[in-house]
Amino acid sequence: MNSVYFKEEHNLLRDQLRRFVDKEIKPHGDAWERDGKVSRDTLRQMGELGFFGLRFPEKYGGSDMDVFAMIVLAEEMGRSTYGGVGVTVMVHSAMSSPHLLHAGSEEQIRKYLPGIISGDTICAIAVTEPAAGSDVAGIRTRAVRDGDEWVLNGSKMFISNGYYGNLYFVAAKTDPEAKGSRGISMFIVERDTPGFNIGRKLEKFGIHCSDTAELFFEDCRVPAGNLLGEENKGFYAVMANFQNERLSIGSMACSEAMTALEITIQHIRDRQAFGGALIDKQGIRQRLAMSQCKLLAAQQLLYHAAWLDSQGLDCVSEVSMVKAHCAEVTQEVMYDCQQFHGGMGYIRETAIERMVRDARLHAIGGGATEVMLEEVAKRW
């Protein structure tokens, strides 16, 4: 569907990404699923082609493109049919590394950003804890200043890119007396920092090629210069980047569902049952037509919210709607796609079976649907 939001530069980017996905991702996706890891060589290829620098300024080696370039990246990752690849790429490029640009000093940016853009340094955002997921204000990891260092103690859970990552943006409480969201700061923690330990790689329901880990900080000492942004202002930095995160998730969700729908339409053209092709059954055709309608409506909400964000307008409510609605519509569409594949839709390693499992994350990660709806309701 043509859209007024995309320009020629976005279309060229989409063509380049689609060729890359077809040649470098789809043929290897099954192997990555078994290994539980996206090839680092492939990620470096993406860096070399500029896919990780889309929204970073040209002076740092980026392309200085807008939010719709990020949406194109997310959509084409979604079309790969491997949700774990999309999560790996988007956590690195849209959900974690922007923290460096938004809050980092010139010294921090010049030290870390080249490796991030090249794909040599893969990033993770470490906010979620065993007792604090969507409730960011409830984190318990502590950071105490000790001379020229900060000492971190605590743990993080469900961290995407956590097991094989290189650089972590970590939220910790720096003012224990502060209530709620106050008193949280962000820190840059390198993988080999003493006292920083990566726990087990978590086995998940879906997105198997996205590595997810628990992290432990045991008297982990980071230089004072690794404080990211202002002390005690980290919560606001996390909230600010949630726009990127939720637009990315909405983009991936819709694209995955659109792709599942395309696969299913082809399947019902080919599948013979009860004396004809399944596509000849009016009830099936209409269900899938309604799915297409719902997805296109969700997509237009996504694009409108992204446009509001690009104009610097307050769009927390709209972006929260995007995250909730796109995720829930995707669950619904995926259910129908699997249903109309019959028994094959339940067989492991078929595209639809994998996509159904992978898509379940969208209603949970990056803020559960219920939390997103509360973000909308409290702005009434």
Catalytic residues: 245
Question: How many angstroms separate the CA atoms of 330 and 168, rounded?
Answer: 30
Output the six-digit token pair for 141. Answer: 């990891």
Ranges assigned E (strand) in the chain: 123-126, 142-146, 149-160, 167-173, 184-190, 196-201, 212-223, 227-228, 272-273, 276-277
Residue type, 115: G
CA 116 and chain centroid, separation: 16
CA 325 and chain centroid, separation: 16
Question: How many angstroms separate the CA atoms of 35 and 84, rounded?
Answer: 12
β-strand pairing of 276-277 with 272-273: antiparallel
CB 10 within 8 A of CB 69: yes
Question: How many angstroms separate the CA atoms of 250 and 319, rounded?
Answer: 9
Residue type, 109: I
Residue type, 181: S
Question: How many angstroms separate the CA atoms of 284 and 279, rounded?
Answer: 7
| Cα atoms in the Cβ-side hemisphere of radius 13 Å centred on 226 | 23
Strand partners, 169: 125, 188
Spatial CA neighbour of 184 closest among 235, 150, 120: 235
In sequence order, the 6+-apart residues with CB closer than 8 A to the CB of 182 are: 175, 232, 235
CB 100 within 8 A of CB 188: yes
Residue type, 374: E
Q: Which single residue is written with the structure tokens 């404080």?
A: 227
Output the six-digit token pair for 187. Answer: 């820190």
